[in-house]
Structure 1
Amino acid sequence: MRVLFVTWAWHSHFYPCVQLGWALRAAGHEVVVASQPALTDVIAASGLPAVAVGHDVDVGAMAGRYFSWLMRQERPVEWEEMRAWGVGNVITYKRIAQAMTADTLRFARGWRPDLVVFDPTTYAGPLTAAALGVPAARHIWGMDYTCRTREFEDEALADMCAELGIGGVETLGDVTVDPCPPSLQVPTPKPVRRLTMRHVPYNGPATVPEWLTRPASRRRVAVLGSSAVASWGGQEPSLLPHVMAALADTDVEIVAIGEDPGGGHRLPDGATARLRLVDRLALHLLLPTCSALIHQGGGGAVMTALAAGVPQLILPRFTDHVFNARRVAEAGAARQIFAGDGDPALIRAELDLLLGDNGHLRAAEKLSREMAEQPSAAEVVDRLAGLAGQAGQAAGLAAARS
């Protein structure tokens, strides 16, 4: 079986697909990942073959008005408010699809995949599958936030479908590969055929640093900013100074990944003695040594912490981050503070509650066990191979009848 993965050039949308790509190759199937040129080195570093399609786009520039508006809000933006934007909710993803669909389809017609696996915001994937007449599998990265925009996608993609000569496209795919713990998954406006899969985190190429091989000398808390907020959030301040101020008089070690040590602010006196800054470190290597993760609610961080059974303090800003934070907090495995309200005193109070109540740890460990009980990627590969085989048989029968 040949499987074409399709994702736009944002690493956190590609990373969740890596374990399935590995499992397909381990089972003897051919895999190629199609993305814009900016992501090809990231794909190759994962050990999967890459093909560059289309051209890169400046997402920040395309969606700058939205991000600017979002950053000015002093409260979480609710979905009903976003829903009123209609097709505007998916216009950036449509423009990304316009930048890469023609090249993706050109490559696919020559390579002839039996199955297309796609990131839910990469419409080039299901469009290519529909044009080729092969099955498509949507691969989500956690709780199914993107299913909410399904109601706008037919209208948004109608002109692209017409150009490709197809009557329409199902952006939910034939199936959805779903690594989220079932109890944490959300009801969806339209029925979704799910293939649940055990989540094995991939956070990029990894080397275990020497200090991480030794037991921590004190309780450890990880701090991780959001790449999306950092790239598109303008002047949103770093989490680290607020966290350091909140924990100034505690004996907690803070490990901050990819954070500016000052973020434009002076750290408290003596704080650096308990601070370890690392430019790059795979989160799944660090979290098993930690008592908590403080972050902004990105899907990759949420899922990695859930897999490790580590409680989370989430300070979300973007709407999907708010969605993630609420779901995990409702499950008891996290506490949340809207990023705009994240002053040190509140962070300290919430972190004390997170670390002082074993209920949060028990809830996180329960979700971790639930994740571990899901079918392996190898089992999902077998299901996908069956789907592709059924489609191939149906196409063969149709050809024979004609």
Structure 2
Amino acid sequence: MRVLFTVSDWSAHYAPMVPLGWALQAAGHAVRVLCTPAQAEPVSRAGLTPVPLMGGLDMVTQTRLLYFWDAQAGRRPYPGLPLHPVTGEELASLDDFDFPAWARENKREIATAVKGNYEGTLDFARRWGADLVVHDPLAVEGLLAAKVTGVPAVLHAWGPVGTDEEEPALRLLPEDPAGFFPRHGVGELGPDLIEYVVDPCPESLRLPTRARRLPVRYTPYNGPGAMPAWVLEPPARPRVCVIWGNSLTRMFGPRSFLVPEIVAALGGLDVEVVLTGTPQDIAALGELPANVRAFERFPLQFLLPACSAVVHHGGAGCAMTSVAAGVPQLALTFAAEQQANGTRVAAAGAGLHLRGDLADRNTVRALVRRLLDEPSFAKSARHLREENRARPTQAALVGELERLAADRTAGRTDGRAAA
């Protein structure tokens, strides 16, 4: 079987798909990952084969444009102004960026890139003879290619935000203003086109979708890295992990870099703090309290099992890796999806959530104390871990995908039988 992955220009979006890619390859299937050139090296380091033919605006610029648009429409949920969508500098006024003028100047270039992504993906799927397509919620080029060629398309969710969300800010499927989907005769792009969803969430975090659900165990992949032996040694006092999003300040500005406040909050507690981040973020902290150790780009799945709590920005990778490890979590969030991750974990009893703009060291210290002192959080976190462990493995999911591809063989339009 030939399986085509299409992924967006953000490694955190496709990291949950990596273990499925391994399982498919271990079962003897061929996997190719259509991505942007920027993602080719991370995909290769993950042990998968990239096909870097995608282009267009980078994800940070796209996200800043969206936040600027929301602010202009009066939908910004936080105080202050968004960043300049192009430069990333702080704006003094919304009038400092002329959105219509920018759109006019870049319309042709963006349209050409989007068209190239759709046509390039469809062409590759036909020439390679893909039997099945797996795509993340944003990389719908694979969805179009699958619909046109008559093979199954499977959306792989990355966390508890699903394909049928009531809140507009949580509707992850991109829009199709140029009408590529109806132009190819497959209908309008929207939740109704999604037939299958790989759901990596425990039952207590069940994501909303009307598609057929393909349950799978969340298996963390946070990038390659070495595992030091000391992580297996029981800590002498509660160990608290702190991890922050690599791109958060590029989307929300320096106000979103809460690590100094978090470190100051935890420096006054009788805990061992392990901080992982980029070299730049660690250097910006200066001298650390005696109970804080910092490591560059430490794979989270190695660190969390011996932790008593974790503080993070609410990203799906952090939240779900914490779920898999059974660790209570404090999410300090800025984006709508991060807020949903934090509130849904909190609703399951396995953590606490606070909007990032409301966080200060005293509040953070009090919330971490609650995670450590109130047994219900650890109990609920362990319950989520056991729910996750009870779900089918990626190897079991491969069998489901094989059956989907076999059932759809008669409908394909490229003249190939399923391998």
Question: Is the contact made by 1:96 and 1:122 (CA closer than 8 Å) also made in structure 2?
Answer: no
Pairing 1:195–2:209 present? no
Matched residue type, 2:260: P
Q: Distance in 2 between matches of 1:197 and 1:161?
A: 29
Pairing 1:178–2:199 present? yes
Task: Specify whether residues 351 and 174 from structure 1 end up closer, same or farther in structure 2 by C-alpha distance, changes over 3 A only.
Answer: same
Determine the structure 1 residue equivalent to 2:176: 156
Q: Distance in 2 between matches of 1:316 and 1:145?
A: 18
Matched residue type, 1:20: L
Question: Is the contact made by 2:240 and 2:273 (CA closer than 8 Å) also made in structure 1?
Answer: yes
Given the alignment, which residue of 307, 312, 322 partners 1:305? Answer: 322
Question: Is the contact made by 1:37 and 1:56 (CA closer than 8 Å) also made in structure 2?
Answer: no
Residues 67-115 of structure 1, C-alpha deviation per residue, up to 9 Å, x if partnerless?
Answer: 354877149xxxxxxxxxxxxxxx9x99985452222222111101000
Q: Classify the secondary structure of the residue corresponding to 1:326.
A: helix
Matched residue type, 1:177: V
Given the alignment, which residue of 275, 283, 290 partners 1:256? Answer: 275
Residues 154-194 of structure 1, C-alpha deviation per residue, up to 9 Å, x if partnerless?
Answer: 97356112444544456553211111012211444xx2210
Q: Classify the secondary structure of the residue corresponding to 1:176.
A: strand
Question: Is the contact made by 1:2 and 1:112 (CA closer than 8 Å) also made in structure 2?
Answer: yes
Q: Distance in 1 between matches of 2:411 and 2:117?
A: 29
Q: Distance in 2 between matches of 1:337 and 1:290?
A: 21
Task: Specify whether residues 390 and 63 from structure 1 end up closer, same or farther in structure 2 by C-alpha distance, changes over 3 A only.
Answer: same
Task: Specify whether residues 71 and 273 from structure 1 end up closer, same or farther in structure 2 by C-alpha distance, changes over 3 A only.
Answer: farther
Determine the structure 2 residue equivalent to 1:73: 78
Question: Is the contact made by 2:10 and 2:59 (CA closer than 8 Å) also made in structure 1?
Answer: no
Determine the structure 2 residue equivalent to 1:367: 384
Pairing 1:296–2:301 present? no
Determine the structure 2 residue equivalent to 1:128: 145
Task: Specify whether residues 346 and 210 from structure 1 end up closer, same or farther in structure 2 by C-alpha distance, changes over 3 A only.
Answer: same
Q: Classify the secondary structure of the residue corresponding to 1:273.
A: coil
Question: Is the contact made by 2:34 and 2:50 (CA closer than 8 Å) also made in structure 1?
Answer: yes
Q: CA deviation at 1:65?
A: 3.8
Matched residue type, 1:10: W
Matches within 5 A, 1:23-38: 23-38=23-38
Question: Is the contact made by 2:8 and 2:139 (CA closer than 8 Å) also made in structure 1?
Answer: yes
Q: CA deviation at 1:355?
A: 0.7
Q: Distance in 1 between matches of 2:403 and 2:13?
A: 25
Determine the structure 1 residue equivalent to 2:304: 287
Task: Specify whether residues 301 and 109 from structure 1 end up closer, same or farther in structure 2 by C-alpha distance, changes over 3 A only.
Answer: same
Q: Distance in 1 between matches of 2:53 and 2:407?
A: 29
Aligned residues: 376
Question: Is the contact made by 2:314 and 2:338 (CA closer than 8 Å) also made in structure 1?
Answer: yes
Q: Distance in 1 between matches of 2:161 and 2:224?
A: 26
> Could you tell me the TM-score, scaled by structure 2's length?
0.82
Q: Distance in 1 between matches of 2:172 and 2:59?
A: 20
Q: Distance in 1 between matches of 2:42 and 2:173?
A: 29
Task: Specify whether residues 99 and 110 from structure 1 end up closer, same or farther in structure 2 by C-alpha distance, changes over 3 A only.
Answer: closer
Pairing 1:21–2:21 present? yes
Q: CA deviation at 1:7?
A: 0.5
Q: CA deviation at 1:33?
A: 0.8
* Mean CA deviation greater in 142-151 or 372-381: 142-151
Pairing 1:319–2:336 present? yes
Residues 219-253 of structure 1, C-alpha deviation per residue, up to 9 Å, x if partnerless?
Answer: 21111112341331222342221112212322212
Q: Distance in 2 between matches of 1:15 and 1:187?
A: 21
- Identity among equivalent positions (%) equals 36
Q: Classify the secondary structure of the residue corresponding to 1:194.
A: strand
Question: Is the contact made by 2:342 and 2:353 (CA closer than 8 Å) also made in structure 1?
Answer: yes
Q: Distance in 1 between matches of 2:260 and 2:367?
A: 16
Matches within 5 A, 1:3-402: 3-68=3-68, 69=71, 73-74=78-79, 97-98=114-115, 100-148=117-165, 156=176, 159-169=179-189, 173-188=194-209, 191-258=210-277, 260-261=281-282, 263=284, 271-395=288-412
Task: Specify whether residues 120 and 239 from structure 1 end up closer, same or farther in structure 2 by C-alpha distance, changes over 3 A only.
Answer: same
Q: Distance in 1 between matches of 2:386 and 2:341?
A: 19
CA RMSD in angstroms comes to: 2.8
Q: Distance in 1 between matches of 2:374 and 2:410?
A: 56
Q: Distance in 2 between matches of 1:310 and 1:25?
A: 31
Question: Is the contact made by 1:177 and 1:194 (CA closer than 8 Å) also made in structure 2?
Answer: yes
Residues 279-320 of structure 1, C-alpha deviation per residue, up to 9 Å, x if partnerless?
Answer: 111101000111111001100111000000000011011001
Q: Classify the secondary structure of the residue corresponding to 1:261.
A: helix
Q: Distance in 2 between matches of 1:383 and 1:56?
A: 34
Task: Specify whether residues 220 and 164 from structure 1 end up closer, same or farther in structure 2 by C-alpha distance, changes over 3 A only.
Answer: same
* Mean CA deviation greater in 21-30 or 65-74: 65-74
Q: Distance in 2 between matches of 1:39 and 1:180?
A: 25
Q: CA deviation at 1:377?
A: 1.0
Q: Classify the secondary structure of the residue corresponding to 1:62.
A: helix
Question: Is the contact made by 2:138 and 2:174 (CA closer than 8 Å) also made in structure 1?
Answer: no
Q: Classify the secondary structure of the residue corresponding to 1:203.
A: coil
Q: Classify the secondary structure of the residue corresponding to 2:8.
A: coil
Matched residue type, 1:156: D
Task: Specify whether residues 187 and 6 from structure 1 end up closer, same or farther in structure 2 by C-alpha distance, changes over 3 A only.
Answer: closer
Q: Distance in 2 between matches of 1:370 and 1:29?
A: 29
